[in-house]
Structure 1
Amino acid sequence: MVDVDPESFEVMVSEALDGIPVELGELMSNVAVTVDHDGGRPGLLGLYQGVPLTRRSRLYAGALPDRITIYRRAICAMCSSEAQVVEQVRRTVVHEVGHHFGIGDKRLRELGW
């Protein structure tokens, strides 16, 4: 386990989001990304909650923002170096953003995410 302080971890998440291609970032709509520093189910690194872009209709207007949560403790628990934490944060952020775009777990695994 690596103990990355909360502030440094949040910077890692921000940098992972900044690494998403601009074209995709501009398509992201009504989604908030947060970090949970202590919670989460064992083995759950991130969680997307909301209505994927591919399933939104005119009835979606006025909905609360979708939420992507990245779990610091779970990611740190599976890594043995800070470099591994950075890479796992990147992979987790991309994976959850993929869900926002309507890509399922099976397809994300096929794509290596």
Structure 2
Amino acid sequence: MTTTKAPIDWTRLTAPSIDDFDLMAKDAFADLPEEFRKLCEGVVIRIEDFPDDETLDEMECESEFDLLGLFRGHGLAQGASSMQTGQFPNMVWLYRRPILDFWAQQDDSLGAIVTHVLVHEIGHHFGLSDDDMEAIESAAR
């Protein structure tokens, strides 16, 4: 028995919105190994279209498309064990438009790229090596 797949109506497709990215990031985070997620307690994940001008200047970016994500805060690698009064929570930003632009140049799925950026930025919180982060990504697949 042969089944045919209905063609995709490309005329109705739109780019994933910030809300779509938020859902992708939550799904990507939920797929990470449980012991890793437990260590991330309190990390806030934000989705923005682009980094702000101050961040672009600070990170010495030539273009608003140069930065896919960013971790800000006091990670475990810096010895942060508890929040200080008035201190912002540890935060990870994922930048939608630069990620979409990067995706257009890759063979990976958008979900895989969102997971990669998320793990990479959270990895800064822990001071992980690239090999450690790759192992976490592999466990999430």
Tell me the TM-score range normalised by the shorter chain: 0.7 to 0.9
Aligned to 1:42: 65
1:18 aligns with 2:43: no
- State TM-score, norm by structure 1: 0.78
Aligned mates of 2:133, 2:34 — CA distance in 1 = 20
1:69 aligns with 2:93: yes
1:52 aligns with 2:75: yes
Q: State, as a whole percentage, how many aligned pairs show the same letter.
A: 26
> Greater RCO between the two (CA within 8 Å, min separation 6)?
1
TM superposition shift of 1:24 = 1.2
The secondary structure found in structure 2 opposite 1:79 is helix
- Specify every segment of 5 or more residues in structure 1 that has no aligned partner in the other structure, as ranges: none
Aligned to 2:109: 84
Against the structure 1 CA distance between its residues 55 and 8, is the aligned structure 2 distance closer, same or farther, given a 3 Å change threshold? Answer: same
Number of residue-to-residue matches in the alignment: 107
Structure with bigger strand share is: 1
TM superposition shift of 1:85 = 1.4
